[in-house]
Amino acid sequence: MLTCKEVTRLISQGLDRELSFGEQTALRVHFVICRGCRNVNRQLAFLRRAMQRLSSAENETGR
Amino acid sequence: MYSFPKNRYLYNGACHDHFKPMPADFRSQIEGQRAYLLRFASLQLRSTEAAEDVVQETLLAALAGESGYRGQSNLRTWLTGILKHKIVDAIRKSSREMAAGAFDDDPEIESLGYKFKDNAHWAERPAAWSDPDSALEQKQFLAALEKCLQALPARTAQAFLMREHLGLGTDEICKELSITATHCWVLLYRARMALRQCLEAGWFGKGAKG
């Protein structure tokens, strides 16, 4: 049984490497019972999109 | 007779000697991308001076290699590709110069403003953010994100921006920063969790939004 701390680490690593089948399954099981980690999962995915937006929109947000 | 536009970089000695006259429109097109490139480089390098250096190198390389541009549809994309290489070169150089003790990030220290209880479950359960997608459309949100990035420790920010801004893989980041894959993942994890926390406090939190 993963702790929330371990889950958040895996969520982050999932953005950098392919998680094993076991890791993916453990995450899915955890998400069913933990709303906090579900939220973090969405938020870290959002962070990636936000960075893409920042990278491409830089000239428009210039100071 | 071709005349050089008034631009300090084009008077930079090497130019006159090595570059053949080019159609003025190519030069001015490249020059038109300078502000964008500067912003792109500044975000990663966190230094205007260092950013200006790599942008200058990029523009010179672009002028020297105009033929490499032929057939590519987007000048900005092409220039950004060159710029990324120059930025990585600069990071590699500064990484070598950095003393071994200069790491501001001990991989053992994970917490950057977020809290777990002793049993490693949430002390305070992260709440859902309301309508994050509309935030993406707001300049103020991107400014808030940038402020959060600036608040990260140097090494953490560097690794994170190499991943999410330059789009490098972790293997390349590890190589350039001379760190292990595990250390790399820890830096990225800490950056993401700290940014999550910072955005929540500064943007998505109750009452924080104007």
How many A×B Cβ pairs under 8 Å?
A: 100
Distances in Å between the Cα of B90 and the Cα atoms of B31, B132, B176 are: 22, 34, 10
Q: Is residue A26 part of a domain?
A: yes
Q: Which domain holds residue A22?
A: 4-56
Q: What is the pLDDT of residue B12?
A: 43
Q: Is B168 helix (H, G, I), strand (E, B) or coil?
A: coil
Q: Is residue A30 part of a domain?
A: yes
User: Domain count of chain A?
Assistant: 1
Distance CA B36, CA B33 (A): 5
Locate B148 and state its tokens. Answer: 């959060």
Whole-model pTM: value is 0.82
Question: What is the 8-class DSSP label of residue B124?
Answer: S
Task: Give Dmax over CA atoms of chain A in angstroms.
Answer: 48
Residues of A in contact with B163 (CB under 8 A): 16
Q: Is residue A62 part of a domain?
A: no
- Residue to mutate among B145, B150, B173, with most A CBs inside 10 A, is B145
Distance CA B69, CA B171 (A): 28
Q: Is residue A63 part of a domain?
A: no
Is A17's CB within 8 Å of B132's CB? no
Q: What is the pLDDT of residue A63?
A: 39
Locate B28 and state its tokens. Answer: 């001015």
Is B36's CB within 8 Å of A58's CB? yes
Backbone angles phi, psi at B88, to 5 degrees: -65, -40
Q: Is residue A21 part of a domain?
A: yes
ipTM of this predicted structure: 0.92
Q: What is the pLDDT of residue B29?
A: 87
Q: How many CB atoms lie within 10 A of CB A43?
A: 24
Q: What is the pLDDT of residue A27?
A: 97
Q: Is residue A44 part of a domain?
A: yes
- For chain A, percent helix, then strand, then coil, each to nearest 5? 70, 0, 30
Distances in Å between the Cα of B139 and the Cα atoms of A55, A59, A60, B156 are: 13, 11, 9, 24
Q: What is the mean pLDDT of chain A?
A: 90
Q: What is the pLDDT of residue B115?
A: 73
Backbone angles phi, psi at B132, to 5 degrees: -60, -30
Q: Is residue A8 part of a domain?
A: yes
- Residue to mutate among A2, A3, A5, with most B CBs inside 10 A, is A5
Q: Is B82 helix (H, G, I), strand (E, B) or coil?
A: helix
Backbone angles phi, psi at B121, to 5 degrees: -105, 170
Q: Is A57 helix (H, G, I), strand (E, B) or coil?
A: coil
Q: Is residue A61 part of a domain?
A: no
- Residues (pLDDT < 70) of chain B are 1-23, 67, 71-73, 98-114, 206-210
Domains of chain B: 8-97 (1.10.1740), 100-204 (1.10.10.10)
Q: Tens digit of pLDDT for each residue in A4-24?
A: 999 999 999 999 999 999 999
